[in-house]
Amino acid sequence: MKTNSNNNGRISILEAVVWAQEHHNQVMYLADTSENLNDYIEKLEKYGFDKEQARAITDIHSREFTIHNRAETKKELQELLDKQL
């Protein structure tokens, strides 16, 4: 069973992924205008993401932007948030 601190880390990542899914045009623009992966991560950090969150966003596969996967990600995030209450 995951500990609460593990859940907090997962929540942090899921929040970043949900943001990226909801702002996919911005994410693609940042990727398109980045010189390399480090530049891409630095640009994401300017949006307030930490390195781990930025790395999670850069690792997203295009399938994660489908309607089904967006719903599944939001569902998982909500379940973890509900457990914290």
Q: Quick check: 3 pLDDT over 50?
A: no
Q: pLDDT grade, residue 4 (50/70/90)?
A: low
CA 81 to chain centre: 15
- Return d(Cα 37, Cα 61) in angstroms, integer: 15
pLDDT of residue 6: 81
CATH classification number, 4-84, choose in 1.20.1090.10, 1.10.268.10, 3.30.70.360, 1.25.60.10: 1.10.268.10
Radius of gyration for the alpha carbons in the chain, expressed in angstroms and rounded: 13
Per-residue pLDDT tens over the stretch 21-76: 999 999 999 999 999 999 999 999 999 999 999 999 999 998 999 999 999 999 99
Does the structure show a pLDDT above 90 at 2?
A: no
Indicate the pTM of the whole model. Answer: 0.83
